[in-house]
Amino acid sequence: MIRINDIIDLVADYNPEADLDIIDRAYVYSARVHHGQVRLSGEPYLTHPLEVAGILAEMRLDEVSIAAGLLHDVVEDTHASPEEIEEIFGPEIRRIVSGVTKLSTLPFSSSQARQAESIRKMILAMADDIRVILIKLADRLHNMRTLDFHRTDDKKRRIAKETLDIYAAIASRLGIYWMKKELEDISFRYLMPEEYKTIAGLVSAGREKQDRYIEKVRSIISEKMTEAGIGGEVLGRYKHFYSIHQKMVLQNLPFEEVYDIIAFRIIVDTLGQCYEVLGVIHSLWKPIAKKFKDYIAMPKPNMYQSLHTTVIGPYGERVEIQIRTQEMDRVAKSGIAAHWSYKEGRKPDEQASQTFAWIQNLVENQANFSNPEEFLENVRIDLFPDEIYVFTPQGEIKNLPKGATPVDFAYLIHTEVGNQCTGAKVNGRMVPLKYELQTGNIVEIITSKGAHPSKDWPNFVKTVKARSRIRQWVKNQEKERSLTLGREMCEKAFRKYRLNFNQLMKTDKMAEAAKHFGFQSVEDLIANVGYGKITPLQVIRRIEPREESEEPHQSLLNKLIGRVRKKKPKGGVIVQGMDDILIKFAKCCQPVPGDPIIGYITRGFGVTVHRTNCVNVLKMSPERQVDVQWNEDIRETYPVKILVRSYDRVGLLAELAANISKNEANILSVNTRTLENKIVDSHFTLAVEGTEHLEKVLTAIRKVRQVQEVKRIG
């Protein structure tokens, strides 16, 4: 266990001018308020903030970050208040600690909603001060290192999944690759334990032979560099387990054919020497076309710089080699922490601020998503690491996600350019708006005044900014049409009750009615009548209360759905507390109990239930979404599709079927396809009772000999 003196000595070593007193005071305060608390491991709780502060010190962060790391959970887990933190340690540390604190005390409809809103809060706070996310990453890393002490496998898997989806991706975007790799490997161990053990065993089995290979290649490179008069360090490294697994799955490769399990890194003194070493390597071994990447001339968005090349090595095998300077290596290890300086005026340096503009984009885009789960899904989209680099006609470099289109590029330039985009030229030639841009393309957008976005654009754009701006435009247009329709509906209904709608529009009664229904203005109220979200009769009854017998009440759901079954037996899903609504389960995502779900109202066909992360939900009108929940009193089975990928062998299908049957799941259909490399894809449709039952079945299938991958699809 790390001690406070170790942390203080480390900070003093890399920053002799640091205010060490604030670190010492933060430690004393944290020890006092956490006194008597223990972690699941049985250790004193204080070990956790100490380990977090130790990780931050290893990242060479400033003393304010270290102190905030020691205090990061005192507000959440003790009697300490934000006001007390500010009084003792100042407003800067209070702001950082508040940004790290989860929203565990606020009421939310579900744990998923609370977690999504906590991550939204974290993203907002990290845009204000990047140290918030650096502390949060250190906190998550230590929690993952001690994840084994959680009692239930379900909780371990849930935490590991969130870590893989969000925190490892953020570490990657921030350029902190050592942390990304450790978070991925620990998550992999809990999410796919069998696959993890298999890869760990295979790597370990060949370790002695691989170590000899590393030493042989390293000595050849070092000798050639010495002959060329270039000093430097040559290192061999093993690829981390999750990365090996990803390559095996994505490229359908057995372990023996993953060529870059070992890679080499060459570190030199100057930028010019990087290119000199590249020449030495390419004269020594034949380079592979399309496997050379110059991240020095065109750095990654997180400032990563290096030369990457793959060559045919001394034994006819592929060898991946990275070449960089010592400064580039420092940035590659520390990412944003290597550039974030708070010494002069407490401001981040300009280069880091510009490079990490994607954080500001996340903040701008989050305003367009009222649903926290929808925001979280779009955060995941924004965090994926594959980038392309394109040029404006003036030669300015812009980076976009892989698969981005001219429409994404147009919205990156400006919202109005995107809204008025009618065509695009790539390298001087006209291309369709669906065209996938490639690195090096020169892109020119053609606009036309009066043009507007098409409703099918969200189906092919790749950036959250483009999708949210298009949806915002469509929503504004729908609001105008709904205002007209709502006004007509209200005028007609109000006349029936001998009321003058146009006169009442300007009264306080109408403003109070709008407020009662949760709208900011009378205009919003009328637009929602047009949407079908509320009825004119509900507005009339609010303004002029009448006897119930005058006209039967017709709810929003009945209005939109049409005739529904009034005496339908109880089913597995409850709609807004009602259980007499016609329910269908979406075939695109096939939800089962345990999945977070949302309902979508369809005219005349009741409510269709989707998983909340279903891609089709993002395309649907938010006005037709309705809260639904699983009825825990009902036990039914639900269809779900799974893919089993394995090596072909005699008796495979029979063994798979036996394992499924043994775990009380019914096979509704099965379809198998043998690929060229003797891999078999088996598509099963199973009837299961929920996510826990499904996970039990998947775990059993993973234990079948020569099964490589098992996953839920749809």
Residues acting as catalytic residues: 76-77
515 close to 467: Cβ distance less than 8 angstroms? no
The single-letter code of the amino acid at 426 is V
Q: Which two tokens stand for residue 32?
A: 């006092």
- Angle of helix 207-227 relative to helix 271-284, nearest 10 degrees, comes to 110
Q: What is the DSSP string of 124-155?
A: HHHHH-THHHHHHHHHHHHHHHTGGGSS-HHH
Give all strands (DSSP E) within 226-344, no chain letters.
Answer: 233-238, 262-268, 293-294, 307-312, 318-325
Cα dist from 568 to 258, 522, 583, 599, whole Å: 56, 37, 10, 18
What does the radius of gyration of the chain's CA atoms come to, in whole angstroms?
29
CA-to-CA distance for 40 and 417, rounded, in angstroms?
Answer: 54
The single-letter code of the amino acid at 222 is S
CA-to-CA distance for 68 and 66, rounded, in angstroms?
Answer: 5
CB contact set of 336 (below 8 Å; sequence gap of 6+): 130, 134, 174, 175, 176, 302, 303, 352, 356
583 close to 605: Cβ distance less than 8 angstroms? no
Cα dist from 688 to 47, 435, 657, 668, whole Å: 43, 41, 14, 10
Kindly report the number of other CB atoms within 10 A of residue 662's CB atom. 10
256 close to 206: Cβ distance less than 8 angstroms? no
What residues form DSSP beta bridges with 424?
Answer: 431, 445
